[in-house]
Chain A
Amino acid sequence: MDAYLQAGFEALGDATRMAIFQKLANGPMAVNELAGLLPVSRPAVSQHLRVLKHAGLVSDSKAGTRRIYQLNPEGMRLLRLHFDQVWDQAMSGFQAAVARASPQETSVGRASAATASSQSSKTKSPKKGEQHGKDSRRNRRS
C-alpha cells in the first residue's frame, strides 16, 4: 500500500469528511452550500475540504468570486484504493494457499494434492457445452 493511497484512506476516515465527500458525489458545490447541508461551520467545512484536496480526492475551481469543489473527476484514486486492497488480500491468500498445498515440490503432471480435494472428481463430465463445466479442474492437464 503506497503512501499516496494511504492518504486517501485517512482522509475519508473522518465522518464529516466522508459526508462532504458524499455530498460532492451529487455534483460540484461551493463551501457555503456544503455548510448549509451539514451540521458544521463554514470554516470547518473549508478545513475538511483542504484535507480532501490534499489527499487528491477533490479538486476546486474558481467560478466568479466563488470557489467550487468537486470530486476528482476520474475517481482513479478511489478505484485504485479499492482494487489495491482487494488484491493485497487476494494475493496474500494465494500465497498462503500455495504454501499449504504441499510443502514439497510435487510439480507438474499431477494436480497438487491440495486443499481442494473435496471437489476433485465430482462434476467431471467432459461435456462440451454444459454450463456447469468443472472443466478447469484437475485432469485438465493430461
Chain B
Amino acid sequence: MAKTAEETVVRKSVRVQGSMERAFSIFVEQMETWWPPDHHIGKEAFQSIFVEPRVGGRWYERDAKGNECSWGHVLAWEPPQRVTFSWHLGPDWKFNPDLAKASEVEIRFTSHGPSSTLVELAHSKLERHGEGYEQLYTMLDGPDAWSRTLAEFASVADGSAKA
C-alpha cells in the first residue's frame, strides 16, 4: 500500500513572464520548443509534440518521418487555468495504454501580479507505474536509461539548487 498520497506525487512550480493565456499557450501548443529533447519515446527524436485541445484529445509526439507515439490523453481542458493529462509512460519510456496504469499530470496557471504567471505542476498517482520489481529492473537495465539519468542528475545538481 502506498504510504501517504504525497509520496506518490512530484510537484514543480515556476513563475513565468506574461499572462496566463500566453503561458498556457506555450505549454500546450509549443511543447517541442521546451520539452527535453532526449525524452522521446519514438525511435527517432520528435519534431513536434501535439496536444489536441479537448477532453479526450491525444497527447503525442511525431518524428520527422511522420511516425507518431502517444504519451497520453487530455483529462481536463480549461484554458487558460488548467490542463490535466493522463501519462502512460513508465520509467522505461514505453507507452502502456491501460488507463489504470497511467499516472496524472495536472498543470495550473495562476495570474501572479500584472505580468507574470505561476505555473504549478503535479504529477500524481505515480504508484501506478510501480508494479513490482519487473518494471524497476527494466528501468535500471534499460539501454542507458538509468545511467544517463544519473549523469543528468549530477549535472543538474551541480549546476543549480532548484527547490
Contacts and interface: CB of A to CB of B under 8 A. Distances in A.
A86 B36 contact: yes
A115 B14 contact: no
A39 interface: no
A37 interface: no
Interface in A34-88: 71, 73-76, 78-80, 82-88
A137 B29 contact: yes
B44 interface: no
Interface string B111-140: 000010001010100110110111111011
B73 to A, nearest CB: 13
Contacts of A98: 16-18, 22-23, 26
Nearest to B19: A107
Interface residues of B, number: 64
A141 B14 contact: no
B126 A83 contact: yes
Contacts of B22: 98, 101, 105-108, 112
Interface string A116-142: 100100000000000111111110110
Contact of B130 (A74, A119, A133): A74
B102 interface: no
Contact of B127 (A74, A82, A93, A140): A74
Contacts of B135: 75
Interface of B: 2-3, 7-8, 10, 12-19, 21-23, 25-30, 32-36, 39, 48, 50-53, 57, 66, 68, 79, 91, 115, 119, 121, 123, 126-127, 129-130, 132-137, 139-141, 146, 149-150, 152-154, 156-157, 162
Closest 9 CB pairs of A and B: A97-B34, A25-B137, A93-B34, A98-B16, A116-B30, A75-B130, A107-B19, A136-B53, A95-B14
